Amino acid sequence: MPMPMTKSLLPLALGAIAAVVLAAPAAAQTGADFYKGKTVTYIVATSAGGGYDAYGRLVADFMQKHLLGSTFVVRNMPGAGHLIGTNAIYNSKPDGLTIGTFNTGLIYNQLIGLKGARFDLTRMSWIGKAASDPRVFVIHAESPIKSFKDLRESRQTVNFATSGIGSASYVETKILADALSLPVKIIAGYSGTEDMMAMRRNEITGIIGSRSSFEDFVKNGYGRLIAQIGGGQKDVPQLASLITDPEGRAFVALIQSQGDLARLTAGPPGIPPDRLEALRTAYGKAFEDQELRARAEKLGRPIDPAVGEEVATLVREALNQTPKTVALLAAALEAKAPTLKASGPLVEVQKKGRVIVFAGPDGKNVKAEPSGSRTKITIAGKEAKRGDLKAGMNCEINYKPGGENEPTTIDCK
Amino acid sequence: MIETMFGTLFTMLTTPYYLWLMLIAVLIGIWVGITPGIGGKLSIALAIPFVFGWEMIPGAIFLLTMHAVNGTSGQISSIMFGVPGDGDDAATVLDGHPMAQKGEAGRALGASMTASGVGGIIGAIVFALMIPVLEPVVLAFSPAEFFLLALLGITFIAFLAGGSGIFKGIIVGLYGMMLGTIGMDPQTGTARYSGDYLFLWDGLSLVTAVLAIFAVPEMIALGVKGGAISAVSKEAAKYSYRQLFDGVLDVPRHWWLVIRTSVIGAVIGMIPGLGGSAAAWICYGHAVQSSGTPERFGKGAVEGVIAPETASNAKEGGSLLPTLFFGIPGSSGMAILLGAFLILGIQPGPTLITQNLELVWMLIWALVVGNIMAVVILLFFARWVALLTFVRGELLIPFVLILCVVGAFVNEAQWENLVILVVLSAIGYGLLRADWPRAPFVIGLVLGPIAEESLHKALALWGPGFFLRPLSLVLIALIALTIGWAVYTGRRQSLAIGTGAVAK
C-alpha cells in the first residue's frame, strides 16, 4: 500500500518530539511516569464497529503498549453526528486521562457555527492523526458521464446521494455543487452504505465520498472514479487541476484539508504539557510499531500518521478561512452566518453613517452599511444613531460578513 | 454444485475442530443474547482481535454462528419479564409475556426457541435459493417500496387494536409515530422536539421505549396485584417438560405461518435499508392479520411468539446475501461482520460465488447447524428458567426493574434515557390501566420514521408519481386488501355482537 506522506511527515514529527525530549528530559520523564498504573479513557464518538471504532481501538491498543504501565479503555459515545462524544472529550477534566477520536467534519460545524457544538477545535490538545482520506467523485458504471468534464457539461441534472442535511458528506457535496455550478440534485438521507445500494439500483448517479470506502465498490465494477481531492494516487485526476475559478479552488482546498486530517486523536484543552508530550510520544511510537502497521493492513485501514503540533497546525489552518469562504459556506447550507468581530478605529464614515469602513479581523478594510433600525449603536456607553458616527472613533463592531456586511452592534468609545 | 453442497456439510460434521468452535460460538452467542445491553454487534466488534491470524473458514463460521444465534436466546427475558434485549426481540413481548402470565411460560419458550431455530434454517435455505436471483430481487426494492412496506406494516395496527378498539389503536399508533419524529430530520437538518438536548437528535431509543411501555408497567401491575408473574399456580398450570414440548410442537402445528414469516423475514433482511426490527414487527402484524381470530393476539397467542421469532432469525440468512455478494452490508450488525470477514481474507463481491463456493456453503451450513445447536441447548435449560414465573412477585420485581434500567442505559450509555424510561413508563402504565392497546405505539415508533424518510426520498427522486412501478402497485393492492379485510371483519364482528345482544 503506498503511503507517500508517511515518509515525509513521520520523521519530522518524531524529530520534533526527540528535540523536546532531549531539551527537557526531566519533564518528559515525569509525564511518562504519571501514566504508570493509570487508566486512560479513549472516547470513540460512534458506536462499536465501523471506521472510527476500528482506528480508535487500534490507537488505544498500541498507545497502551508504548505508554508503559498504562491501561487504555475504549468507550463508545455515539450520537448526534459525533457531537455528543466530541462535547464529552472537550469538556472532560484536562488531566490527560481522557482523550478520544471523532469526525474531522466537525470543522464545518465550527466554521459556520452550527447548533450543538460545545467545543473550540483550535484549543484542543491535539495528539495525532492516523490517516488521510482523500475524497472522490464516484459515478455509476453505466452512466454516460465518464469524466469530470462530462459531469460539468451534462444537460440533465444528475442525482447525488448524501447523508442527512448538516452532515459532513452533505456539506461537501453541496458546496462543491454550488461553487463549481455542477448540474447536481442532492438526495439527502442515505446513511451508512445505503448510498452504494442506491447507486446499484440506479436511482442515484453520483456520490462524493471517501476513497477508501469505495475502493471495493469500484473494483467490483459498480462505479467509476472521475475526480479526486487530495491523496497521492495517480489513477484519478485531481479536482484542483480540473477547475480554474478561485472560489471553487478555495473550497477544494478546504475539503482537502479535511481529508488530510482523518482519524484524529485529541484531548480537552489544558492537558499539562509534560503529559501531553508523553501522549504524543506514545502515539508516535505506536505508529512506528510494525505490529500496528500489519494489523492496520489486515483491517484494510490505510494509515498515514502525523503527530502533535503538526496536527494542531493543520487544524488551525483548516479553521482559518476567509470571511468570504465562511459566508459562502453558510449560504450554501442556508445556515445563519456567524457574526464577525472587529475592533479598532473607523477608517471612513460616508453618507452620514450609512456607509462605514473599518479594518476587519484579517486586517483588510471592510466596507459596511449599518442599518438605521437593526444596528445597535452605542457611543461611550450611550445609545446613539448612525449619523453620530465619526471617522477615527475607536469602536468594537460585530457584523454579518457578505453583501452589505451589515453590523449588528457598533460600540464606540 | 450438489457435490460441494453435501461435501461441505460432511466436512463440517466430521471435523471435531469445527464442531467445537461452533459450540463455543453458540454458547457465547446465547450468553450475549441473554445479557441485556450487549448486542450482537458489540460481541463481534470485541471478537475481532481474537480472530486475527485464524484461517478463513473456521474464523468465518465462528463469527457467523455467534452472530446468528443471538436472537434465539434474546427472547427469554422478553417472555419471562417483558424485558426485550434489543429492538428485534421487542415484538415477542406482545404475546410471549401474556403467555407467561397465563402460566404458559414453558410453552412460550419452547415455541419461541423452536421457531427461532426453524426460522434460522429456513433463512439459510432462502439464502441458498436466492443466490441466482439475488440481483433482480434486491434491486427491485427502492425507497418507494420501503415507504409502501412500512405503510403496510402500519395498517396492521387496525388488526392489533381489534374491533371496537380501533380508534384507541389509531390514537396510540399515531402517538408512537409522533414520538418517532423526534430527532434530527435528515431531510431538513432541523432538530425536531429536541430542544438543545443532543441525546434526542438520534431519536427516541427503541429499547428504552419498549421497556417503558411494556416491562415497567407489567412490573408495577404485578406489584399492585401481588402474587407471581403467572396468574395460575405451578400445580394448576401442570408445569412439566410436557408443556415445553407442547410449545415445540406449536411450530409444526403452524407450519404454514412459519414458512411465510421466515421467508418474509429473510427477504426483508436481504434489502439493505429497511432495518432488522421492521422484520419482526411486519411479521407479527402479518400473523395477526392472517389469523381467523385476531382478538386473541396480545393476550397470549402462540402465533404472536412464533411469527416475530422466525422472522428475526431468518433475516440473518437474508442479510448475509448482499453482504457477501455485493460487499454492501444488509444491517449494521452485518457491516461489522463484513469488516471481520475482510480481516480473514474473504473478499466479498460478485466473484465470491465462483471463486469460493466452498466457503459460501460452509456459511450456509453454519447457519443451519448453529441454529440447531442453540435450540437444543436452550430447550434443555428452558425448563428451569420458566420456573421463575412462579416465583413470588416481590422477589422478582426489583431484579427485573434493575434489568430494565441497565437495558435502557447500556444500549446508548446515556443517563438521559433513564429520564425517558420514567416518563414513558407512566404513559405505559396509564395505557395498561385504561386497557388500551400498547403494540400500535411501538409499530408507529419503528415504522413511522422509515415511512417518512422513504417517502421524502421517493418524492425527491421521482416526484408525486413515484408509486407507478410494478412492485409498488402490488404493495398498494396489498395495503388496500388489508384495509378492506379489516373493515369487513370489523363489521362482521360488530354484527355478530349486535345479533348476540338481541338474542339475549
CA distance A300 to B344: 11
Query: A201 and A276 in one domain?
Result: no
Distance of CA A179 to the CA centre of its chain: 18
Residue A70 belongs to a domain with what CATH number? 3.40.190.150
- Chain A interface includes B196 (CB < 8 A): yes
**pLDDT > 50? residue A22:** no
What residues in A contact B202, CB-CB < 8 Å? 78-80
Residue A24 is part of which domain span? 4-131+261-329
Out of B191, B199, B347, the one facing A84 most closely (by C-beta) is: B199
Q: Output the nine-digit C-alpha cell for B219.
A: 412490573
Report if residue A253 sits inside a domain.
no
CA distance A380 to A185: 52
Q: Which residue has the higher pLDDT, B342 or A34?
A: A34
Helices (H), B52-188: 56-68, 70-81, 90-101, 105-130, 134-139, 143-155, 157-161, 166-180
Place of cell 437528535: B201
Report if residue A238 sits inside a domain.
yes
Residues 6+ apart with CB under 8 A from A7: none
Q: In B, residues 414-433, which contact A (CB 8 Å cutoff)?
A: 414
Query: A302 and A239 in one domain?
Result: no
pLDDT reported for residue B46: 74
CA distance B45 to A55: 12
- b (16+ CB within 10 A) / e for A289-307: eeebbebbeebebbbbbbb
Distance of CA B437 to the CA centre of its chain: 19
Q: In A, residues 377-406, which contact B (CB 8 Å cutoff)?
A: none
Give yes or no for a contact between B443 and B173, defined as CB atoms under 8 angstroms apart: yes
Give yes or no for a contact between B59 and B269, defined as CB atoms under 8 angstroms apart: no
Which of A295, A329, A363 corresponds to the end of one domain?
A329
Query: A89 and A156 in one domain?
Result: no
Report if residue A335 sits inside a domain.
no
pLDDT reported for residue B275: 63
Residues 6+ apart with CB under 8 A from B197: B416
Which of A285, A309, A329 corresponds to the end of one domain?
A329
pLDDT reported for residue B218: 86
Give yes or no for a contact between A380 and A413, defined as CB atoms under 8 angstroms apart: yes
Query: A16 and A98 in one domain?
Result: yes
Q: Output the nine-digit C-alpha cell for A65.
A: 503498549
Phi-psi sector, B135: left (phi>0), alpha (psi -120 to 50), beta: alpha
What residues in B contact A78, CB-CB < 8 Å? 202, 412
**pLDDT > 90? residue A409:** no
- Chain A interface includes B339 (CB < 8 A): yes
Out of A79, A170, A185, the one facing B202 most closely (by C-beta) is: A79
Looking at A144-153, A277-286, B411-420, which range is the least confident one? B411-420
Q: Do A189 and B335 touch (CB under 8 A)?
A: no
Query: A122 and A17 in one domain?
Result: yes
Which of A329, A350, A379 corresponds to the end of one domain?
A329
Looking at A254-268, A304-318, A335-349, which range is the least confident one? A335-349
Nearest residue on chain B to A163, alpha-carbon basis: B186
Q: Report phi then psi at B340, rounded to 5.
A: -65, -40
pLDDT reported for residue A86: 92
CA distance A278 to A29: 8
Report the candidate in B305, B254, B257, B256 with the shortest Cα–Cα distance to residue B280.
B305
Report if residue A203 sits inside a domain.
yes
Query: A112 and A12 in one domain?
Result: yes
pLDDT reported for residue A337: 56
CA distance A386 to B310: 74
pLDDT category, A13, cuts 50, 70, 90?
low
Report if residue A252 sits inside a domain.
no
Q: Ranked by mean pLDDT, which of A144-153, A341-350, B156-165, B374-383 comes out on top?
A: A144-153
Q: In B, residues 106-125, which contact A (CB 8 Å cutoff)?
A: none
Report if residue A197 sits inside a domain.
yes
CA distance A263 to A279: 16
A184-187 sheet: strands from edge to edge:
A184-187, A158-161, A206-210, A135-140, A223-229
Walking along chain B (504 residues) 10 residues at a time, the average pLDDT comes out as 81 89 90 70 75 84 87 81 73 88 89 92 89 83 88 79 72 91 82 82 83 87 83 69 87 93 89 74 87 82 92 86 80 77 79 81 90 90 80 83 83 82 94 86 86 90 88 90 78 62 40
Q: Looking at CA atoms only, how far is residue B336 from chain A in angstroms?
A: 5
Looking at A269-278, A336-345, B146-155, B421-430, which range is the least confident one? A336-345
Query: A89 and A40 in one domain?
Result: yes
Out of A78, A192, A216, the one facing B349 most closely (by C-beta) is: A216
pLDDT tens, position by position, A309-328: 899 998 888 888 888 788 87
Q: Which residue has the higher pLDDT, A14 or B284?
A: B284
Phi-psi sector, A308: left (phi>0), alpha (psi -120 to 50), beta: left
Other CB atoms within 10 Å distance of the CB of residue A388: 16
CA distance B214 to B92: 11
Residue A152 belongs to a domain with what CATH number? 3.40.190.10
pLDDT reported for residue A7: 43
pLDDT reported for residue A97: 93
Query: A55 and A171 in one domain?
Result: no
What residues in A contact B453, CB-CB < 8 Å? 189
CA distance B110 to B53: 39
Q: Ranked by mean pLDDT, which of A211-215, A219-223, B138-142, B285-289 comes out on top?
A: A219-223
Q: Do A217 and B52 touch (CB under 8 A)?
A: no
ipTM at complex level: 0.80
**pLDDT > 90? residue A24:** no
Looking at A93-102, A260-269, B170-179, B338-347, which range is the least confident one? B338-347
What is the domain partition of chain B in residue ranges? Answer: 2-495
Q: Looking at CA atoms only, how far is residue B187 from chain A in angstroms?
A: 6
**Average pLDDT value for residue range A1-6:** 41
Total domains in the fold of chain A: 3
pLDDT reported for residue B94: 86
Place of cell 396468574: B231
Out of B52, B189, B414, the one facing A164 most closely (by C-beta) is: B189
Query: A121 and A219 in one domain?
Result: no
